[in-house]
Structure 1
Amino acid sequence: MTLVDSITVSEAGGLTFLDIENDLASAKISLFGGHVLSYIPKSDNQERLWLSPHAYLNGERPIRGGIPVCWPWFSDDHGKEKGELPSHGFLRTQTWKIVSTEETGEATHIVLAPSFTRAEGFEYDCEVTLSVTVGASLTVTLATKNTGVVPFEYNCALHTYFQVDHIQKTALTGIAGQYKDKTQNWAVKETPSPYTFHQETDRIHLAAIAETYIEVEGNDFTQVSSQGNDSLVVWNPWQGAASISDMDAFGYKHMVCVESAITGGKTLAPQAEHTLIQRVSPK
C-alpha cells in the first residue's frame, strides 16, 4: 500500500511503527496493538500521551502507555476465572494491518484493522476498525460491526494514558455523578469535587460523560471528548506502580488514565454497528 506523504514507516525491536508529521501535529502508532504511542500538537509542542519508559516494545507483552485498545471485554470481565483469558481482550497483542491512509490540509487519517476478531471468549462474526485522525486534535474511533446472524454483547475502551507534570498538581473537571471504586470492593460513591489525586485511584464513572478537562496547576491543559461511551474510567496506580513490571516505581507521578469506555455491555444486532470515539484536544 502507498502511504500518504505525512506518514513514514520505521521498525525497531521487531515491531513496525507509523510516524506521522504534518503541519498541525506529530504522532506515532505501533501496528502491534493498533496502539497510538504519541501525540504532540504543534500549537504548544507538548506531549499529551504518557508512555512508560519500561514498556515492552518488542511484541512480548501489551504496550504500557499511549492508547491501548480494550476489546471485546474490559479488564477481566470475560466470564471466566481471572487470568484464564487476557486482560482487556486480545486486540492489543496482535499486529494490525493498514486499511487506508489519507491526508488533507487539516489532518492525516489512518484506518487500521486487526488480524482477527474471533478468539476464545468471543466467537462471533464481526468487523473491527480503528480510525486515527492526527491534526489540531487527535481523534481515535473504534468501530465494531456485527457481520453475523445472531446478536452479541461486548465491552471495550480506549484506555488512554495522559502525560501530566505531576499527579498531585493535576485535577479533572467535567465529571459528575456516581462511580464504582475498585479499590474499595466496588463501593458506589459520589464523584469528588475538586477531583484531585492523593492515593491509588481506580474508578468506573457510571455515566456517558462527554467532556472532561485535565487541569495542571489550575489551568486547562487537555480536553478529552467521548462519544458512544456508557462510562468513563479514571486510573492511577499510585505507589502500586512499584509492583508493575513495565512501569517505573515513580511513573505514577506523571500519568493519569482517562478512558472512554463501554463497561455495562453493548449489544449489537446483526448488521448493526457501534463506534466509540475519543478526541484529545490541547487547551
Structure 2
Amino acid sequence: MPANIKRDRIILSHPSGSSAEILLYGATVISWKSIGPDDSTPSERLFVSGKAATDGSKPVRGGIPVVYPCFGAPTHPDHMKLPQHGYLRNNVWQFDGIPMDNEAGVTLRLTMAPNAAMKEQYSYPVRLQYVVTLAPHQLSTDLHVKNVASSDSSPMEFQALFHNYFRCVANDALVYPLKGLSYLDKTEATPELRSSTKLELRDGVDVKKFTDSVYLDGPKRYTLRWPGGEIDINTNLNDVVVWNPQQEAGSKIGDMEDGGWDKYVCVEPGTVRGFITLPPGENYICRQTLTVKV
C-alpha cells in the first residue's frame, strides 16, 4: 500500500523499502527512510527531537518544516502580523490525493485553504499546494505558490525555505561547495555585524561551534557529507542556510532533547535575502530534491 492515510498524517512507502511520514499539521515531513551504501535495512535520514511536539500544538522541532512567506521575523509590510517563519508550519493542511504511484515513486499532494484566522494574519490571496515525492533513494518537496489576486493588483512578494534537519554526527559533518560565497553570520553579537557579509574561505563548512550562516546566491547544488553518509541537495532557490546551535544555544531551546545538537545538521535551501516577486495569475514552484548516495 503506497499511502497509508491516517487521521493526522500520511505514510508513503516504496517497494525498495524507502518510506516517508508527513504530518497534516504543518505538512512537516517527520521521517524519511532510505537504504544507503552500507545499509541492509532503510535508515532514518531526518532528525526529530525527542521533545518535539507532533500533536499539532506547535511547530515540529526537526524533520522538514516549511517556511513561508517570511524567513525569521517578518520584515515585509504585508507580513507584519505573521509569526516567525510564517504560517504554513503551524496550520493544518488538507490531503488532496496521490497523483503518482508507480515504480519511479509515489507522490502525495496537500493543499492549504486559508481560514479566517490565517486571513487575518496574511490577507494576500494565494493558492498553495505541497507535493512530496518518495523514490528509492530520493525525497522531493515542492511548494507551489499561485497568486490568485485580481489582475490589477500589485505583485506579491514572499520568501520560502525548506528547514531540513539531516540526521548525522554533527561534529564530523561538512557542507560543500560554499567556498567563495558571501554569507551573513547570524551568531554575531550586534545587528551591524549580523547584517555585514563575510567571505567563506573553507572548502568544507563544519558546525563544530554554534553556526547560523546564510549563504547568498549559492550554486543550488549542495552536499552534506560525514563518515559513512552523504546527502545531495538540489534546489531552484537562491540561498542556503547552515545551522546547528551546538550546546551554546541548543541547551536554551525548550523542545530540543539533551545533546540533540550532536545528532543533526540543518542545510536549508531558500530565498531569504530579498523576496520572490510573483505577478497576479502566475505560479512559482519552490523545489528541492534530496538524494542519498548509494
TM-score when scaled to structure 1? Answer: 0.90
Distance (whole Å) between structure 1 residues aligned to residue 166 and residue 5 of structure 2 = 24
Cα gap change, 1:266/1:79 in structure 2, threshold over 3 Å: closer, same or farther?
Answer: closer
**1:162 pairs with one of 166, 172, 184:** 166
Matched, 1:142 2:140: no
Aligned pairs (5 A) from 1:93-242? 93-101=90-98, 102-116=100-114, 119-136=119-136, 137-149=138-150, 150=153, 151-164=155-168, 166-176=169-179, 177-184=181-188, 185-186=193-194, 187-191=196-200, 192-217=202-227, 221-227=230-236, 229-239=237-247, 240-242=249-251
Partner of 2:10: 18
- Please say if 1:276 is aligned against 2:269: no
Gaps of 5+ in 2: none
Letter matched to residue 203 of structure 2: S
Partner of 1:195, secondary structure, is: coil
Contact conserved, 2:239 with 2:270, CA < 8 A, in 1? yes
Moved more, 111-120 or 265-274: 111-120
Over aligned residues, Cα RMSD in angstroms? 1.9
Q: Alpha-carbon deviations, 1:35-84, whole Å to 9, x = none?
A: 1111111344221111111101111110110110111111113448x996
Amino acid at match of 1:113: T
C-alpha separation between the residues in 2 aligned to 1:115 and 1:154? Answer: 18
In 2, the alpha carbon distance for the partners of 1:153 and 1:204 equals 20
Contact 2:22 2:30 in 1 (8 A): yes
Residue 32 of structure 1: CA displacement?
0.6
SS in 2 for 1:257: strand
Which structure: greater strand fraction?
Answer: 1
Question: Residue 21 of structure 2 aligns with which residue?
Answer: 28
Whole-angstrom CA distance in 2 between matches of 1:52 and 1:105: 32
Q: Contact conserved, 2:160 with 2:270, CA < 8 A, in 1?
A: yes
Instruction: Specify which of 248, 254, 258 is matched with residue 267 of structure 2.
Output: 258
CA drift of 1:265 comes to 0.4
Stretches (4+) displaced over 4 A: none
Distance of 1:181 and 1:155 partners within structure 2: 19
- Deviation readout 1:106-131 (Å, 9 max, x if unpaired): 11101101231853453211111110
| CA contact 1:73–1:155 (8 Å) conserved in 2 | yes
Separation (CA, whole Å) in 1 of partners of 2:92 and 2:244: 27
Per-residue deviation, residues 194-252 of structure 1 (Å, max 9, x unmatched): 311221111111014321111113x651111111x121111111111111111013101
One-letter identity of the residue aligned with 2:278: L
* Unaligned residue ranges in structure 1 (runs of 5+): none
| Structure 2 residue aligned with 1:58 | 55
Do the aligned partners of residues 83 and 162 (structure 1) sit closer, same or farther apart at CA in structure 2, a change above 3 Å counting?
Answer: farther
Number of matched residues? 271
Paired with 1:266 and 1:83, the residues of 2 have a C-alpha distance of 17
Amino acid at match of 1:182: K
Please tell me whether the aligned partners of residues 9 and 22 of structure 2 are also in contact (alpha carbons under 8 angstroms): yes
Given that 1:209 and 1:226 are in contact with CA atoms closer than 8 Å, whether structure 2 keeps it comes out as no
What code does the residue aligned with 1:138 have? Answer: L
In structure 2, relative to structure 1, the CA distance for the partners of 1:62 and 1:10 (3 Å cut) is same
